[in-house]
Amino acid sequence: MKIRQLSVFVENKTGHLNQILEVLARNNINIIALTLADSSDFGLLRMLVSDPEKAAEALRAENIAIRIHEVLSLELEGVPGSLSRVLNRFSDNGIAIEYIYAFSFGSKSILVMRPENTEKAIEIIQKFQLKPIYESDLKAQL
Amino acid sequence: MIWNEQIECMSSNEMRKLQSERLIELVNRVYQNVEFYRIKMDEKGVKPSDIRSIDDISKLPFTNKTDLRDNYPFGLFAAPMKEIVRIHASSGTTGKPTTVGYTKKDIENWQEALARCLTMSGVSSEDIVQVSFGYGLFTGGLGIHFGAENVGCTVIPISAGNTRRQLQLMSDFGSTVLACTPSYALHLADALAEYGYSLSDMKLKTGVFGAEPFSENMRLELEKKWGIKAFDIYGLSEIMGPGVANDCEFHDGLHIHEDLFFPEVVDPKTKEPLPDGRQGELVFTTLTKEGIPLLRYNTHDLTTLNREKCECGRTLVRMKKITGRSDDMLIIRGVNLFPSQIEQVLLEMGETSAHYMLYVDRENNLDILELKVELDESKMVDTIKDLMSLSRKIEHSLHSALGLSVKVTLVEPKSIPRSEGKAVRVIDNRKI
């Protein structure tokens, strides 16, 4: 359920995001999911990639500030209300979420989240038998 | 009008005689009372008895801003604390302020110098003076305040900031003189309409502007925008504060009160005195000061001296309006700023790299600072919230260390150009 995510600092400059993506392309790294949060001064690019370590090394070599962080991932049922039900489990137990994104992968709907307290969130996942996703699940489909 | 005709129109022979007497007394006093100068003079092999006239001044050692810092807070004071009646301070180069102390007589001399400056600007006891320089440790507010009281003016000690109230009191109280930084005066002029005022609501006739350099063009613009006569008042806290020099109605240089503050212009490289008319670093010796007398203090302001008699009748030596400096000091909203102070704050915080670029600009006539600082790769975080709080934290530290608001923008590691020679750390886009 813990998967490695790449967080990349992106200055607000035209074409800058593409420079980062080109580094990944040159190194033959596949992007599984991507989201970009923006502020007035900079953006923060969060990605799940086929090989986080290799991606980190390649980006650092280009002086790009990155960090590998563990986030939690769950599989959602592809029916209306499933995301809301999952989130209720956390909020009912007083667990705040810093950020969240979701994507489809093959036939699956996948949720990625960073709770304020990871260990407590894992307890909830186990207690309510939510369906975790592992890096191996994502790689198996690539 | 001339406040002190005897001094301000003195013949050059008499002036040199007065300066010589004062220099001899000064050198004896600092040699006896200030260890720093005793050591410096001994090192140079100069004894007080070697100083027989003002012509011997070049035998004396120089003083720099770093000497004030090294002797912080009171090491250069020449009078016992019981005789010091006031302390002022300005930000120093490494977090420690530059401290100056005044005896009763120093305050009187300062008031005298300011009374001459204000009279030179056409101010009299009939005037209502709005002092919009900052009050407090900064010399601007209190300096002008005491000078204007000495002239007999009605003083409004409003201090800096709060544009709405500045304009309201200017209109309600009928201020006839505005004293502030030239950029703030422009800002106030541009804000008139915004707050529902027009020039006809104001009785302003004179502006006394200083604490930051401004060009002759800007002085003329201020005259036009306000419909006033604008004057340039020069000073620095190390020497006294505002009132070291001022321009008269002919605006052909600033008259220096040379009976109190003896000026020299020296070559920036060799530090050798330069003849009148040649540009160099302006150096002052405080001829009468008791609290913290300074020998040959290098201001690093660039100017030339002119000893010709002025059309106004004054014989006081004139210095050209300051437009540049020989070091990297910036003057932001009247506050002195060395780029090294920023580096110091970043290094102390240790949360980013110490590579930065400072952009100085002027928006609505107010100086604004933007600092681009490189993110430290090893301190990268994964939420916007944490990145924003890092920049806010740097802004806060800079504000408490410099007394200035700086907008901080984080940039990528190694994105600021490295230079092989002297690093370019500041881009100053202001037009002054």
Contact flag B385-A98 (C-beta cutoff 8 Å):
yes
Nearest to B409 among A41, A63, A99 (CB): A41
A7 CB within 8 Å of a chain B CB: yes
B-chain CB neighbours of A60 within 8 Å are: 377
**A28-50: per-residue pLDDT in tens?**
999 999 999 988 889 999 999 99
Cα nearest neighbour of A43 on chain B: B384
Residue % of chain A over a pLDDT of 90? 82
Q: What is the DSSP string of A8-41?
A: EEEES-TTHHHHHHHHHHHTT--EEEEEEEE-SS
Residues 6+ apart with CB under 8 A from B181: B133, B160, B209, B210, B211, B212, B333, B334
CB contact under 8 A, A67 and B415: no
- Contact, A71 vs A114, CB < 8 A? yes
Which residues of B, range 379-408, sit inside 8 Å of A by Cβ?
Answer: 380-385, 387-388, 391
Give B385's contacts in chain A (Cβ within 8 Å).
Answer: 98
Nearest to B375 among A9, A39, A69 (CB): A9
Domains of chain B: 5-327 (3.40.50.12780), 335-428 (3.30.300.30)
How many A-B residue pairs are in contact by the CB < 8 A criterion?
51
Smallest CA–CA distance from A71 into chain B, residue: B382
The pLDDT, as a whole number, for residue B95 is: 61
- Residues A66, B413: C-beta atoms closer than 8 Å: no
B142: tokens are 């209190």
State residue B425's pLDDT score. Answer: 86
As beta bridge partners, residue B54 has none
Give the distance from residue A100's alpha carbon to the nearest chain B alpha carbon, in angstroms: 11
Domains and CATH numbers, chain A: 2-69 (3.30.2130.10), 71-140 (3.30.2130.10)
**Which helix (H) or strand (E) is A126 found in, with range?**
helix A118-127
User: Which of A39, A67, A99 comes nearest B381 by C-beta?
Assistant: A67
Chain A interface, mutation test: which of B376, B382, B406, B410, most A Cβ atoms within 10 Å?
B382
Which residues of chain A carry a pLDDT beneath 50?
Answer: none
Q: Does A15 touch chain B (CB under 8 A)?
A: no
Per-residue pLDDT tens digits for B180-211? 999 899 889 989 999 999 999 999 999 999 98
Give the per-residue pLDDT at A78. 86
pLDDT tens for chain B, 432 residues: list them: 999 999 999 999 999 999 999 999 999 999 999 999 999 999 999 999 999 999 999 999 999 999 998 999 999 999 999 999 999 998 655 567 899 999 999 999 999 999 999 999 999 999 999 999 999 999 999 999 999 999 999 999 999 999 999 999 999 999 999 999 998 998 899 899 999 999 999 999 999 999 888 888 889 999 999 999 999 999 999 999 999 999 999 999 999 999 999 999 999 999 999 999 999 999 999 999 999 999 999 999 999 999 999 999 999 999 999 978 888 889 898 888 888 888 888 988 888 888 899 999 998 888 999 999 999 888 888 888 899 999 999 999 999 888 899 999 999 888 887 765 556 789 999 877
The answer to whether residue B415 neighbours chain A at the CB level (below 8 Å) is yes
Nearest chain A residue to B391 by CA distance is: A41
Q: Phi and psi (nearest 5°) for B25? A: -65, -40
* Residue of A67, A97, A101, A118 to mutate when probing chain B, most B C-beta within 10 A: A67
- Outline where DSSP puts E strands in B23-143: 84-90, 98-103, 128-131
Please name the member of A11, A66, A99 whose beta carbon is closest to the beta carbon of B411. A11
B413 to chain A: closest CA residue: A63
Contact A60 B380 (CB under 8 A): no
Q: What is the dihedral of CA B67, B69, B72, B73, to 10 degrees?
A: 110
pLDDT score at B423:
66
| Contact (CB<8Å) A67/B382 | yes
Identify which of A9, A99, A114 has the shortest CB distance to residue B412: A9
Q: Measured between alpha carbons, how far is A108 from A75 in angstroms, rounded to an integer?
A: 7
- ipTM score assigned to the predicted complex: 0.82
Residue B322 token pair: 């300051």
Q: How far is CA B144 from the centre of its chain?
A: 13
Quick check: B244 and B211 in contact, CB under 8 A?
Answer: no
Q: Could you tell me the two tokens for B300?
A: 């690093």
Q: Which A-chain residues 45-64 have CB contacts (< 8 A) with chain B?
A: 46, 60, 63-64
Reported as a single tens digit per residue, the pLDDT across B306-330 is 999 999 999 999 999 997 888 888 9
- B380 vs A9, A11, A39: nearest CB: A9
Nearest-CA distance B238 → chain A (Å): 40
A15 dihedral zone (left: phi>0; alpha: psi -120 to 50; beta): left
| Closest residue of chain A to B370, computed from CA coordinates | A41
B320: closest CA among B333, B310, B306?
Answer: B306
Smallest CA–CA distance from B385 into chain A, residue: A98
Give the best residue of A8, A16, A35, A39 to mutate against chain B (max B CB count within 10 A).
A39
At A103 the pLDDT is 94
Q: Quick one: tokens of B22?
A: 């004062």
